[in-house]
Amino acid sequence: MDYRRVIQVSLDSLSSHKLRTFLTMLGVIIGVAAVVAMLSIGEGAKEEVLKQISILGINNIIINAVVPEQIRTSDLGLHRSPGLSLADGENIKKFENLVAGVVPQRYEPIPSVFNGSQEASVRVVATTPDFVYSSSIGVEQGRFITDSDNQEFRQVCVLGAKAKRQLFTFEDALGKSVRIGDMDFTVVGVMQDKYIGRGKVEGFELKNFNEDIYIPLNTAVKKFDRVEAKRQTSGGHFFMITKTVATQNYNTPEIDQLTVTVKDLAYVTAVSKLIEKVMQRRHAGVADYEIVVPESLLRQSQKTQQIFNIVMGAIAGLSLLVGGIGIMNIMLATVLERTREIGVRRAVGAKRDDIMRQFLMEAVTICLIGCIVGLAIGLIISRGISFYAGWPTVVSYFSIFLAVSVSTAVGVSFGLYPAYKAANLDVIDALRYE
């Protein structure tokens, strides 16, 4: 049988009833558009989470200093905990077979940095040269802090991309001075610009590295006074706490964060448990620290995303199911309407398989045309969501393949019975049908 002829006959039959054909494929159009739009949102969210987790470092374990909950109820044990300290990092480093490095960070309560009259609201981060190895952010211009900078207490700094733009706009910042607190620091480097996205992963707030200014840790320890108490949140932002009787037993942490880089991703969970035991022992059971495992956040986010995709897929699948039922209904009506035509074709030599292919092809054609229109609408919807709502969307080849495959399957599944019924009509009864 000439399939091109079958397709042409199918198109002619469908085009002779344009409105009915459009209404028939409407369910498929809505279903495919929903599938593409929902999957594009899910894929976009997945890509953004991967980018955000990569900023934290998939092999990293982050320990943040926090205000212990016990200060609200009891002072018991608080005086025995030194708070997060460099000694904690040294103890963790002893797992040298598992741990590649431990990087301390201390946040200075300096709200603004100046370059002449130019002011930038940034965060001053005191750290060590190993920071660049534990982070996914590299140096774009100049260099990062060196061991000699740290050992000789030099007043040098490295600017985040946004901090550089706020302080120097389009000027070259290298070699120039910025005022941090009441001291001048020479700019020796500028970090790469890093996309932060929505800034949260499973409730964990990401800090904006682009707003950071990095200085040597030893310089900060020697030249900046440590405040009496401050609270460190999981996202790296801090705020001051007025010292009261209730907080006098709370020891101010020496540092605000430790970033532990694990040698092998497979050991991240095990190392996090070891760190938890070390910290509990060193801090006398006081919860003045918080352990964040980006790899666990990624797994949790993937589970959430999987549930979202299943729910959205089920909703879109219902639209396709309704569309398929509509196709079967219309095709059954078409068989009844074209009973005499079927009888004539059988009388002049057409086989039952030919009649079956004819009607099955019409059902599949309706679905494929609806699929193409639905794909176009789905692409428009995904772009519109990205533009107006600010949500990232990614239309993958898989979503297009899935939409086409499901549409074809719907056409075959719901067109099979009408085609079978048409093929099995009695020739004499069909010719006598009015």
Q: Where are the domains of the chain?
A: 3-52+300-431, 59-293
Q: Which residues of the chain have pLDDT under 70?
A: 1-3, 5-6, 9, 69-80, 196-206, 226-250, 433-434
- pLDDT tens digit string along 5-49? 667 767 777 777 778 888 888 888 888 888 888 888 878 877 777
User: How confident is the model at residue 202, as a pLDDT?
Assistant: 56
| Look-up of token digits 């016990």 | 70
Note if the pTM is more than 0.85: no
Cα separation of 180 and 121, whole Å? Answer: 11
72, 244 contact by CB (below 8 A):
no
User: How confident is the model at residue 197, as a pLDDT?
Assistant: 60
Three-state SS annotation for 133-189: HHCCCCEEEECCCCHHHHHCCCCEEEECHHHHHHHHCCCCCCCCEEEECCEEEEEEE
User: How confident is the model at residue 205, as a pLDDT?
Assistant: 64
31, 367 contact by CB (below 8 A):
no
| Look-up of token digits 């800090």 | 207
Start-to-end CA distance of the chain, whole Å, equals 29
User: How confident is the model at residue 235, as a pLDDT?
Assistant: 43
User: How confident is the model at residue 245, as a pLDDT?
Assistant: 37
∠ CA(383), CA(385), CA(391), 5° rounding? Answer: 105
- Closest by CA to 131, choosing from 309, 267, 257, is 257
Element (H, E) at 291: strand 289-292
User: How confident is the model at residue 250, as a pLDDT?
Assistant: 60
Alpha-carbon distance values, 132 to 2, 67, 69, 256 (Å): 66, 28, 33, 18
Q: How many CA atoms lie within 13 A of 373 on its CB side?
A: 15
User: How confident is the model at residue 22, as a pLDDT?
Assistant: 84
User: How confident is the model at residue 106, as a pLDDT?
Assistant: 92
